């Protein structure tokens, strides 16, 4: 008896027929979880929250699980604080404050004039010459940030120990926390400069009032970063933070970055120009310490390294025409950065770019998916993408090479909830927004059980999003006529088996069986394999499907 066993189910068949000899690839597959080679349905997504309005960005935080934005916002979390761009001026807040709608402007404007001084001039030969400057302080949560230094006063002669009153201080910032007062003395004044160098300043105190009295008591050297403090550009966008703690973002045609661990060290000395011949910079993403600028022409890669002189960016052009087609498709995770180009789905890893969708979609097929509408996110070693017309889960294989047998492409519908999504985000689960509703999808959710016990379909599993699977069968016994079949499934499963005649015309359904057990059954009409096809749909766990030329032989097997 000829028998065809379908097992070790895989995703959509790449356009390489030799691979079909290794496993059961699909001609079409939707909502099927194929992690271990079995055929099972994914859990359905659940409604996470409803906003009633179009959502462009999802950024859930602890205690604020439905934080959404009608604009495209880029958010970075650092030591309990949140910094974001895209919603007007760059802003910062505590996580709880952001949930309550409380925030401050990120920039701390530098004082535009020197402080006023009141003192008694010293006319003896014991006079020392001093100069004063100040900074503004801002407190957000438990962290205090400092502005750049004000213009200094001129050198004044004072007798040692005589007080000097520093006044005229003002701090218009919404999260103002006071001032720091700095003094430079003639003993460390260099050359004939009218004002001291940055490294000559001594911190003499802090004040929350608009004036401060310096009585020449204890002081300490100013932080070496005093002259590094600066504001992010007002038009900063695509904010990210690298593994080394360096914040990066785009402003116009420039890449800006900070010193590690200090979000107040934006400076014109730390920026890189994206040349016109490389393309117009549209987006930015990071993976560990690799920074990628995506343009309308080619990707530009920067490798970040830290040194005593600060962050160093080593540029590496990726000379491939791979313009980003959708800003909402950009996501970082697994082995690099993934985004949708007009040529296909691209993965950037180090200085390499690879079109990982090419085994499944040629350029024309890819463009039919409307890549400009794609939203996507990397989650749990897979990339989920949804466009205006379709949705897929791309399960990464080892190395994600085009000929890798561990890579799966699986269609998604999930009850009509995902196609046409507006925004997507990966956290403890996958979140996306569609039509003012935010959905949460945890595809790894499953009942708890002992590994020694057989896995069964739970009786109360809630709503079922049934899988659909149509194998791309390559049978060496193509002339065999199969008259019986059996579906090997776990207890609690319910599967519909369909058998079609596809001989030179539209498929005609010739048999449909609803199966809840593993008993063999006879096909009411039979065709040779080359003239037929089968489909499976339902909820549960299917280990294999067997087609045979004899019902009796299947029963005796």
Supply the pLDDT for residue 400. 55
SS3 10: strand
Domain endpoint, select from 178, 209, 228: 228
Domain endpoint, select from 199, 228, 257: 228
Domain for residue 319, yes or no?
no
In the 3-class helix/strand/coil scheme, how is 211-277 assigned residue by residue? Answer: CEEECCCCCEECCCCHHHCECCCCCCEEEEECCCCCEEEEECCEEEECCCCCCCECCCCCEEECCHH
Supply the pLDDT for residue 189. 45
242, 272, 467 from 351: Cα distances, Å: 17, 18, 38
Domain endpoint, select from 186, 206, 228: 228
Supply the pLDDT for residue 511. 87
Domain for residue 37, yes or no?
no
Domain for residue 525, yes or no?
yes
Q: Give the up-direction half-sphere exposure of residue 441: CA atoms within 13 A in the CB hemisphere.
A: 28
Domain for residue 473, yes or no?
yes
Positions of the chain with pLDDT under 50: 188-193, 401-402, 404
How many domains is the chain built from?
Answer: 2
Are 165 and 158 spatial neighbours (Cβ–Cβ below 8 Å)? no
Q: Using one digit for the tens of pLDDT, what is the confidence trace for 435-445?
A: 999 999 998 87
Between CA 4 and CA 499 the distance in angstroms is 14
Task: Indicate the pTM of the whole model.
Answer: 0.90
Alpha-carbon torsion, ordered 286, 292, 294, 297, to 10 deg: -160
Query: Which residues, in sequence order, are bridge partners of residue 375?
Result: 386
Domain for residue 521, yes or no?
yes
How far is C-alpha 312 from the geometric centre of its chain's CA atoms? 24
Residue with tokens 């003002």: 170
Domain span holding position 555:
466-557
Alpha-carbon torsion, ordered 123, 124, 129, 135, to 10 deg: -60
Supply the pLDDT for residue 413. 96
SS3 504: coil
Domain for residue 160, yes or no?
yes
Domain for residue 156, yes or no?
yes
Determine whether 191 is exposed, middle or buried from the number of CB atoms within 10 Å of its CB (0-12, 13-18, 19+): exposed
Domain for residue 158, yes or no?
yes
């Amino acid at each position: 008896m000829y028998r065809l066993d379908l097992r070790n189910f895989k995703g959509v068949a790449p356009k390489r027929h030799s691979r079909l000899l290794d496993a059961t690839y699909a001609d079409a597959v939707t909502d099927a979880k194929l992690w271990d080679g079995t055929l099972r349905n994914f859990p359905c997504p659940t409604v996470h929250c409803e906003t009633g309005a179009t959502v462009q960005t999802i950024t859930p935080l602890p205690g604020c699980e439905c934080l959404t934005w009608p604009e495209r916002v880029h958010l970075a979390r650092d030591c309990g604080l949140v910094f974001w761009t895209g919603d007007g001026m760059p802003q910062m807040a505590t996580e709880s404050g952001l949930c309550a709608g409380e925030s401050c402007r990120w920039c701390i404007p530098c004082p535009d004039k020197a402080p006023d001084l009141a003192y008694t001039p010293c006319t003896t030969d014991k006079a020392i010459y001093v100069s004063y400057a100040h900074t503004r302080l801002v407190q957000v949560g438990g962290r205090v940030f400092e502005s750049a230094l004000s213009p200094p006063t001129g050198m004044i002669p004072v007798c040692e120990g005589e007080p000097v009153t520093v006044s005229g201080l003002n701090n218009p910032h919404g999260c103002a926390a006071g001032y720091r007062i700095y003094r430079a003395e003639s003993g460390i004044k260099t050359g004939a400069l009218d004002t001291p160098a940055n490294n000559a300043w001594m911190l003499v105190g802090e004040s929350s009032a608009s004036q401060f009295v310096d009585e020449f008591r204890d002081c300490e050297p100013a932080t070496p970063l005093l002259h590094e403090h600066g504001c992010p550009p007002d038009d900063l966008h695509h904010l990210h933070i690298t593994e080394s703690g360096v914040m990066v973002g785009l402003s116009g045609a420039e890449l800006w970055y900070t010193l590690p661990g200090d979000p107040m060290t934006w400076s014109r000395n730390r920026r890189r120009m994206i040349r016109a011949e490389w393309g117009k910079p549209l987006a930015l993403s990071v993976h560990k310490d690799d920074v990628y600028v995506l343009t309308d022409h080619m990707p530009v890669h920067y490798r970040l390294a830290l040194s005593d002189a600060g962050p160093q960016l080593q540029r590496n052009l990726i000379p491939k025409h791979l313009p980003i087609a959708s800003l909402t498709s950009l996501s970082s995770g697994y082995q690099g950065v993934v985004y949708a180009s007009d040529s296909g789905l691209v993965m950037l890893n180090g200085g390499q770019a690879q079109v990982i969708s090419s085994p499944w979609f040629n350029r024309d097929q890819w463009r039919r998916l409307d890549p400009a509408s794609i939203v996507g996110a990397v989650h749990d070693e897979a990339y989920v993408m949804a466009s205006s017309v379709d949705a897929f889960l791309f399960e990464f294989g080892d190395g994600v090479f085009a000929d890798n047998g561990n890579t799966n492409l699986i269609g998604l519908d999930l009850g009509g909830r995902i196609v046409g999504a507006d925004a997507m985000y990966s956290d403890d689960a996958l979140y996306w927004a569609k039509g003012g509703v935010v959905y949460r999808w945890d595809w790894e959710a499953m009942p708890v059980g002992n590994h020694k016990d057989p896995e069964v379909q739970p009786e109360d599993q809630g709503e079922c999003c049934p899988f659909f699977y149509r194998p791309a069968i390559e049978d060496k016994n193509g002339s065999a006529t199969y008259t019986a079949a059996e579906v090997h499934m776990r207890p609690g499963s319910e599967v519909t088996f369909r058998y079609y005649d596809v001989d030179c015309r539209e498929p005609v359904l010739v048999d449909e069986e609803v199966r809840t057990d593993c008993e063999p059954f006879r096909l009411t009409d039979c065709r040779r394999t080359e003239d037929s096809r089968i489909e499976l749909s339902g909820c549960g766990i299917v280990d294999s499907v067997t087609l045979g030329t004899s019902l009796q032989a299947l029963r005796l097997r």
